[in-house]
Structure 1
Amino acid sequence: MRILRYKNNEGIYSLAALANDERVYDLPYGDFLELVSEAEKAETTPLKHVQELIAGQEPLNARYGELELGVPILAPEVWAAGVTYEKSKEARNYEATDGKLDAETFYDKVYDAERPEIFFKSTAARTVGPDQPVYLRSDSSWQIPEPELGLVLDKNGKVLGYTAGNDMSCRDIEGENPLYLPQAKVWKNSCALGPVILLAEAVEDPYDFDFACRIYRGEEKVVEGTANTKQLKRRLDELVDYLAKDNDLFDGTVLLTGTCIVPPNEFTLQDGDRIEIEISSIGTLNNPVKTQKSKISAIR
């Protein structure tokens, strides 16, 4: 069972359930956390609560692909884990060493270390949903999407569901100096989530999600890659434990778990490109790429 937010006939975002047969059923809630809260009050699970709500209900007349979707959860914070796949380690090493991959770097060390890399990625105001534009950073010339599995958490670190995430990244800024990581990762519209939340109860094995990332330029496919979460170096509960260590989690926090698909080193995103991130059982997150004007006219 998948949960989505869509704009209804009144122009208001409303919650709905997407069944396995792609039929959509209205839910009497405005957001995902309200659904979770009501399920707790009823002393049941979100999945069972949704099943009870839609039992005997007629689906929407509109098809899933016809709905105007919003970001599936207004996450108060989005965090991300890095260097959790070997492919990510190799890409980070390439950035940091100008292609001299024979030298060990701090990325090798964190890949093998007990403590994972976890960094702050986004807020609700900086995060966009399906079909909304992700922005290019004006002071970077080497930018890529990073397709990632997102964990939707409650304040206790429990996984409520799974979604697809795009952790936009500036490879040149991060490669220049690791202390520049926040600038390489955080800016307006630098994070996308969606298209839905797959309820955790509906997932038998989170280490068997298939990934695909496709980038189109003028509707011509210029990049495509695939992966599977079984390639993860770290356990998902390990990442959550470190995020929650001596830290306050908020209901609806999203943790992106790292990427295993990296475009070729000579590739950079351009204005007008389109990114598709597909995760099995979740769906496809589609976002156009736009250039934004910098608010700083000159650096002094």
Structure 2
Amino acid sequence: MRIIRYSNQENKPALAAVTDEDKIYDLPFEDFLEIVRQAEDKESTALQVVEEIISQSLPLEIPYDELSLLVPIEAQEVWASGVTFEKSRDERNYEATGGKLDAATFYDKVYDAERPEIFFKSTNKRTVGPEEDVYLRSDSNWQIPEPEVGLVLGNKGQILGFTIGNDMSCRDIEGENPLYLPQAKVWKNSCALGPAIRLSETVEDPYELEITCRIYRDQEKHFEGTASMKQLKRKFDELAAYLLKDNTVFDGTVLLTGTCIVPPNEFSLRDGDQIEIEVPGIGVLVNSVKSQVSQLVFDRE
């Protein structure tokens, strides 16, 4: 069972449940967290709340692929995990050493350490949803998407659901100095989430999830890569627990779990590229890439 937000016929945000057969049922809630709160009040689960509602409802007639989807949750904060895959460690080493593949760095220590790398990524004002533009940072010449599975968390760190995230990253800025990490990760429209939240109760084994990233340039597929959550070194609960340590975690916080899909080192995103990130059972997150310069021109017009 997936939960989506979409723009209804009155151009207002609406919440809906989507079954595995792509049947869509409107829900009488304004946001995902209202489902969670009602489940707590009834001492049941979010899935049980949704199933009870749709058992007394008729599905919408509009097909799923014709909906105008919105970001599935307006998270106050989005956090992210780094160096959680071997591939990520190797690529961070490449950036930090100028391409010396056999050189060890502090990224090796992080990969093997007890404490994971967790950093602040975004707020709801910097985050976009499906079919919205992600922006390129104007002072970087080496930028890539980082396709990731996102954990939608409760304020006690419980995993409420799973979504897809795009952690846009500047490889040159991060590689120049690790203290530049916030600038390599955080800027306007540097994070995308969607297209849905898969309820955690409906995912038997989250480590069976597979993620695929495709990048299109001039209507041609320029890159494709696939990874499995089985390759993740850390456990989801472990990452959530470290985020929670001595921290205030808001209901609906999203924690991105790291990437194992990295385009070739000579690749950098360009204005007009299209990014597709797919996780079967959650959906496909599609975003176009815009440069800050082209967006400023658009805004003036």
Query: If the TM-score is normalised by the length of the shorter chain, which range does it land in?
Result: over 0.9
d(CA) in 1 for partners of 2:230 and 2:45? 27
Structure 2: which amino acid aligns with 1:160? L
Superposed displacement of residue 39, structure 1: 1.9
Gaps of 5+ in 2: 297-301
Tell me, in whole angstroms, the C-alpha distance in 1 between the residues paired with 2:157 and 2:39: 17
Cα shift at 1:121: 0.1
Kindly state the Cα deviation for residue 56 of structure 1 after the two structures are TM-superposed: 3.6
Query: C-alpha deviations, 1:133-154, integer Å up to 9, x for none?
Result: 0000000000000000000001
Match of 1:160 in 2: 160
CA distance in 2, matches of 1:7, 1:43: 31
**How many residue pairs align between the two structures?**
295
Equivalent in the alignment of 1:195: 195
TM-score (norm 2): 0.97
| Residue 236 (structure 1) aligned with residue 231 (structure 2) | no
User: Residue 138 in 1 paired to residue 149 in 2?
Assistant: no
Match of 1:52 in 2: 52
Tell me how far apart the structure 1 counterparts of residues 186 and 47 of structure 2 sit (CA, whole Å).
33
Aligned-pair CA distance for 1:43:
2.2
2:43 matched to which residue of 1?
43
Structure 1 ranges of 4+ moved more than 3 A: none
Q: Give CA deviations for 1:132-175 in whole Å, capped at 9, x if unaligned.
A: 00000000000000000000001000000000000000000000
Larger mean CA deviation between 167-176 and 286-295 belongs to: 286-295
Corresponding residue number in structure 2 for 1:20: 20
Task: Give the CA deviation at 1:42.
Answer: 2.2
Secondary structure at the residue paired with 1:281? coil
Letter in 1 for 2:170: C
Say what the alpha-carbon RMSD is for the aligned residues: 1.0
Tell me which amino acid in the other structure corresponds to 1:46: A
Indicate the percent of aligned positions where both proteins have the same amino acid: 68
Distance in structure 2 (CA, Å) of the matches to 1:281 and 1:8: 23
CA–CA distance in structure 2, aligned partners of residues 250 and 56 of structure 1: 32
Letter in 1 for 2:236: L
Q: TM-score, normalised by structure 1?
A: 0.97
1:26-60 CA-partner distances (Å, limit 9, x unpaired): 00111101111122222211001000000042111
Distance 1:266 1:103 in 2: 19
Distance 1:61 1:205 in 2: 32
Aligned to 2:122: 122
**Mapping for residues 176-191 of structure 1, pairs under 5 Å:** 176-191=176-191
| 2:175 aligned residue | 175
3-state DSSP of counterpart to 2:15:
strand
* Corresponding position of 1:254: 254
Question: Would you say 1:92 and 2:82 are equivalent positions?
Answer: no
In structure 1, the partner of 2:299 is: none
Q: Secondary structure at the match of 1:241?
A: helix
Cα distance in structure 1, aligned partners of 2:45 and 2:246: 28
- Distance in 1 between the 2:43 and 2:96 partners? 51
Query: 1:24 deviation in Å?
Result: 0.6
- Distance across 2 between alignment mates of 1:228 and 1:28: 35
Q: Which amino acid aligns with 1:113?
A: A
